[in-house]
Amino acid sequence: MDEISGILFVEIVGKGSRSEGPKYYIKLLDAYANRWSKILVRKKAHLWENDPVLHKFIDQEVLILGEIIETKSTITIDYELVRELK
């Protein structure tokens, strides 16, 4: 299991469509910050719904544990655990 730390934020996508909803990203504070400005955090809810675990950590420094899926042009983390850093 991999871990990433950073500030969790949300962007609303699909505006005006039936699938309008939040996408969660993490702005990095660790070694990945040299390669990526933000990483998509794959949510465990429908496209139009808030993720109940991620949503309570918006705009906070968090540590995310999960599987990192990295390609040449994108990076995503499929989270297992999210906790606030203090």
Q: What are phi and psi of 12, to 5 degrees?
A: -90, 125
Q: Where are the domains of the chain?
A: 2-84
As given in the structure block, the two tokens for residue 55 are 């949503």
Cα–Cα distance measured from residue 44 to residue 79, given in angstroms and rounded to the nearest whole number: 9
Mean pLDDT value across residues 40-69: 95
Global pTM reads 0.89
CA distances from 59 to 1, 37, 49, 72 (A): 24, 16, 18, 28
Helical residues (DSSP H) of 11-84, grouped into ranges: 52-55
> pLDDT of 31-54, one tens digit each?
777 778 889 999 999 989 999 999
Q: Which CATH architecture has domain 2-84?
A: Beta Barrel (2.40)
